């Protein structure tokens, strides 16, 4: 009889992935679901990126790729880091992977040992803690409360660092809250990290182009160049260029770290699709105006969603500065009963009942390490957002 390996015993299926799968099943049954659970842009992949992939395939660029990425893409990434982040990386300090998720997996697998600790601000993306656990490390959660706009406080980071700390994960703009650190706030975090030279920094910057209301993006190695030699700057094509299905992630980091990661990647899946790499090269080298245009569209969606959620009985909703998520507080709904007879004891009960009774898919805050909240992705069309928020208003209004 098959038995699950010990390393997987404490790793759960991603709540957002599970909700997305549930939505697909319900839609296949004919149920009209408003899907607000998936962090996937609804915009199309840029046409010039698709054309570049097509031309690459026709030209016979369909053989095994280099494990660390093809040279034209690595050169495009090199220019991107300089252009957007004022970071200079040599080509052997850059690596391409099957999405930014694999970049982070490679890094942890290549660096941590049993007993090491990985500090993760909470709420945070589900996979950070699970990947640390799979690698044999101990995830250490540091609360980023709403009264600090879901941002990491330097004093809390300082208190969490121990001699066992191997990594600190930074993700601002943040999934699931949309929080963005100002340069001054990132400076305070950098000052803490400077005092602990044994700690590596994983900066997940996949939402860098999605900031609003004049908030500028900054990454930690840019704010403090002395940290560059122990920072892995992670990014990808998925969110900015609406290329989730192409699976292109990349990073810049210290040469020894990248070399170890490449060794690990070679044992998992080797290099990534040459066709996808051609598309990503075109996206990074091509016109960048679409990034600001799409960010402006997301800002309008954010404003609409926040406004409608604030009208829902029992909910409060912080207005985020970035990404394409909102993270409403549903504490005012706890203890109440739905029209369908379900008692709401926590955020998991709330999102389950919301899906079953109003056919709106969201994700419980508990999955990201903070209750009583739930995550809504506004990376979908305005009509769907309005309909989804209207149903949420109706659902909350019907609680007794």
Predicted local distance difference test score (pLDDT) of residue 11: 85
Mind listing the pLDDT tens digit for each residue in 39-72? 999 999 999 999 999 999 999 999 999 999 999 9
Residue 138 has pLDDT above 90, yes or no: yes
Mind listing the pLDDT tens digit for each residue in 378-392? 999 999 999 999 999
Q: How many CB atoms lie within 10 A of CB 225?
A: 13
Predicted local distance difference test score (pLDDT) of residue 349: 95
Q: What are phi and psi of 235, to 5 degrees?
A: -155, -175
pTM: 0.95
| % of the chain exceeding 70 in pLDDT | 100
DSSP designation for 116: -
Strands 249-252 and 231-236: antiparallel
Residue 27 has pLDDT above 90, yes or no: no
| Averaged pLDDT for residues 366-370 | 96
Tokens for 208?
A: 């860098």
| Averaged pLDDT for residues 259-267 | 96
Predicted local distance difference test score (pLDDT) of residue 19: 80
Instruction: Give the total residue count for the chain.
Output: 400
Mind listing the pLDDT tens digit for each residue in 335-345? 999 999 999 99
Tokens for 183?
A: 């340069």
* Beta strands per DSSP E along 283-382: 325-326, 360-361, 363-364, 374-377
CATH 1.10.1840.10 fits 47-285, yes or no: no
User: What are the domain boundaries of the chain?
Assistant: 6-44+290-397, 47-285
Strands 325-326 and 34-35: unpaired
Confidence of residue 277 (pLDDT cuts 50, 70, 90): very high
Domains 6-44+290-397 and 47-285 share a fold: no
Q: Is the dihedral of CA 7, 11, 17, 23 positive or negative?
A: positive
Class of domain 6-44+290-397: alpha beta
Q: How many CB atoms lie within 10 A of CB 216?
A: 8
Confidence of residue 20 (pLDDT cuts 50, 70, 90): confident
Q: What are phi and psi of 363, to 5 degrees?
A: -130, 135
Mind listing the pLDDT tens digit for each residue in 74-94? 999 999 999 999 999 999 999
The rounded distance, in Å, linking the Cα atoms of 25 and 126 is 22
């Amino acid at each position: 009889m098959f038995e699950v390996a010990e390393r997987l015993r404490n790793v759960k299926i991603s709540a957002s992935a599970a909700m997305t799968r549930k939505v697909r099943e319900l839609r296949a049954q004919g149920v009209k679901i408003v899907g607000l659970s998936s962090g996937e842009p609804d915009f199309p992949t840029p046409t010039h990126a698709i054309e570049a992939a097509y031309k690459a395939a026709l030209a016979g660029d369909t053989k095994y790729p280099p494990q660390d990425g093809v040279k034209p893409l690595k050169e495009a990434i090199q220019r991107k880091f300089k252009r957007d982040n004022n970071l200079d990386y040599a080509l052997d300090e850059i690596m391409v992977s099957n999405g930014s998720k694999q970049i982070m997996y490679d890094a942890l697998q290549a660096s941590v040992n049993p007993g090491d600790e990985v500090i993760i601000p909470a709420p945070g993306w589900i996979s950070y803690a699970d990947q640390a656990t799979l690698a044999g490390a101990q995830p250490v959660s540091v609360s980023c409360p709403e009264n600090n706009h879901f941002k990491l406080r330097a004093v809390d980071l300082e208190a969490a660092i121990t001699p066992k700390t191997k990594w600190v994960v930074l993700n601002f703009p943040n999934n699931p809250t949309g929080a963005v650190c100002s340069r001054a706030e990132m400076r305070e975090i950098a000052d803490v990290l400077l005092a602990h030279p044994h700690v590596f920094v994983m900066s997940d910057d996949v939402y860098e182009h999605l900031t609003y209301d004049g908030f500028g993006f900054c990454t930690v190695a840019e704010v403090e160049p002395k940290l560059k030699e122990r920072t892995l700057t992670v990014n990808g094509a998925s969110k900015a260029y609406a290329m989730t299905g192409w699976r292109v992630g990349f990073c810049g980091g210290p040469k020894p770290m990248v070399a170890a990661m490449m060794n690990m990647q070679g044992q998992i899946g080797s290099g990534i699709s040459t066709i996808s790499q051609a598309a990503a090269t075109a996206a990074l080298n091509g016109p960048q105006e679409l990034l600001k245009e799409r960010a402006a569209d997301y800002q309008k969606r954010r404003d609409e969603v926040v406004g409608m959620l604030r009208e829902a009985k029992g909910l409060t909703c912080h207005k985020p500065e970035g990404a394409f998520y909102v993270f409403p507080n549903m504490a005012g709904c706890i203890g109440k009963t739905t029209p369908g007879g379900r008692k709401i004891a926590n955020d998991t009960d709330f999102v389950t009942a919301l899906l079953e009774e109003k056919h709106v898919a969201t994700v419980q805050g508990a999955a990201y390490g903070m209750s009583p909240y739930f995550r809504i992705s506004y990376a979908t069309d305005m009509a769907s957002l309005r309909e989804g928020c209207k149903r949420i208003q109706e659902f909350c209004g019907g609680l007794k």
